[in-house]
Amino acid sequence: MKNRPVFVAILATLALIMLAVLPAVAAQPGPPPFNHSADPSVAAGPQAKELDPEAWATAVPLPSARWGAAGATATGCTLFSIGGWTDSQDLADVDVYDPLRGIWAPRAPLPQPLDGIQAASIGNLIYVVGGYTRPNINHTLYIYDTLANSWSTGAPIPNPGGIAAAAVAAYGGKVYVIGGDDGDASSNTTNYEYDPATNTWAIKAPMPTGRENAVAVTLNDKIYVAGGVQAQDQNLNGLRTFEAYDPVADTWTVLADMIQPRVAPGIGTNGVYIYVYGGATTYGSGYTALASTERYDPATDTWSRSDPLVEASDGMAAAYVTGKLWAAGGQSELGVIATNQYRHVGPCNCEPTAVKLARFEGQNESSGPPLWLLAGGAAALGLGRWLQRRRTRAL
């Protein structure tokens, strides 16, 4: 066999590579076990059988602690945290998180500091409506271009008092701003529709329940609005209210109440179920941040309990990104936090190709195997050619 030395050299090199790679692969931890706390809001009642039964975990924290920031994703591959409140001031900060690299990076700041905001995305644009610049409530519409890393303004929302703490979602190329606070003594039922094509606002069917600090998500051609609080309630107790808006028919449906009342929770969908997580029991006396998660099945109009957050939180930047629910920042009884939490609930459509994965992991000091493979292959090829040249000379 003429090429036997080459063949043996390649096998030997590959064996060395495997010895280096296999321990690293074997050391990778598996999914953490379910860990339901003794909190009755977490442990009681039926448990959801998840598509991927993995508990919440933590990732790289936000660059700074913040609450009341907007969470958004334009591509489903990165998480944006926009604005928010520290212990003393509103923020204009915008940061983007890449879950595949575990890196936060700053982006162009908001035109002005804001908190009490939510966001909706259409294509590569993210829309942020109203919000607080303490003590003022804004009418502004800011539009962030994720590709150009720049902000522009749209037509201001026509609500006389401005709007803050409203639920925001997108459907059919339009943005919907639902409920919220406009500075008076009652929470809004208003439902505004913004059309980017004409830069105009329209008033749509009002929400059955006036509330603020509720959250919204779009699924199956409907916008679902969960939780919140009514300003008329002097103790600002959380609501279990869950309602759905049909933008085509311009009608509302009252659905099964959530298991747990929640003010300013996180919300996300994997395209099958809706998850509502965290929040607070009340924004009045007796405030308690929640860790519990519950899952809604639109096919049966039922709720079931799921795994709790690692750290109880409300007012977090929330979104569904890379097949995971995210909860970045927020606040608890200890104050404003920077914790970045996630949970697998669906497939990730952002995984890189094998070549990109090798290149990506080569930039990560803790990710050795792909570089070993690339280097080993090159070494084997080089050694093989050297042996072949020696054999040719000998002949």
Q: What is the pLDDT of residues 70-95, one digit of tens each?
A: 999 999 999 999 999 998 999 999 99
- 291 within 8 A of 37, measured Cβ to Cβ: yes
Average pLDDT over residues 266-294: 97
With bands split at pLDDT 50, 70 and 90, how would you rate the model's confidence at 391? very low
Judgement on whether residues 369 and 270 belong to the same structural domain of the protein: no
Structural domain contains residue 31: no
Say if residue 114 is in the same domain as residue 243: yes
Tell whether 120 is covered by a domain.
Answer: yes
Q: 134 and 276 share a domain?
A: yes
Residues 393 and 279 in one domain: no
Q: Are residues 176 and 111 in the same domain?
A: yes
pLDDT of residue 147: 97
Give the pLDDT score at 29. 36
- Residue 364 shares a structural domain with residue 324: no
Please determine, for residue 6, whether its predicted confidence score (pLDDT) is greater than 90. no
pLDDT band at 54 (very low <50, low <70, confident <90, very high): low
* Residues facing 289 on adjacent strands: 280
Identify the three-state secondary structure at position 119.
Answer: strand
Q: Are residues 130 and 268 in the same domain?
A: yes
CATH number of the domain at 218, please: 2.120.10.80
Give the list of residues 6+ apart from residue 308 with CB closer than 8 angstroms, or none: 35, 36, 37, 39, 42, 56, 291, 292, 293
Strands 136-137 and 119-122: what pairing?
A: unpaired
Mean predicted lDDT score pLDDT of the chain:
83
pLDDT reported for residue 349: 80
Question: What is the reported pLDDT for 368?
Answer: 38
State residue 87's pLDDT score. 86
Largest CA distance in the chain: 97
Using pLDDT thresholds of 50, 70 and 90, give the confidence band for residue 351: low
DSSP H helical segments within the chain, as ranges? 4-26, 40-43, 354-362, 369-394
pLDDT tens profile 122-178:
999 999 999 999 999 999 999 999 999 999 999 999 999 999 999 999 999 999 999
> Does 368 lie in the same domain as 337?
no
Give the residue numbers spanning the domain of 395.
352-395
Would you give the end-to-end CA distance of the chain in angstroms?
14
Instruction: State how far the Cα of 191 lies from the Cα of 178, in Å rounded to an integer.
Output: 4
Looking at per-residue pLDDT, the higher value among 183 and 390 belongs to 183
Q: Angle of helix 354-362 relative to helix 369-394, nearest 10 degrees? A: 100
Residue 59 predicted with pLDDT over 60: yes
Answer yes or no: do 69 and 88 share one domain: yes
pLDDT in tens, 25-41: 333 333 333 233 333 33
Distance CA 275, CA 72 (A): 16
What pLDDT does residue 352 have?
60
Per-residue model confidence as pLDDT tens digits over 371-383:
333 334 434 434 4
Asked whether residue 291 is domain-assigned, the answer is yes
Inside any domain, residue 105:
yes
Residues 195 and 226 in one domain: yes
The structure tokens listed for 65 are 């602690």
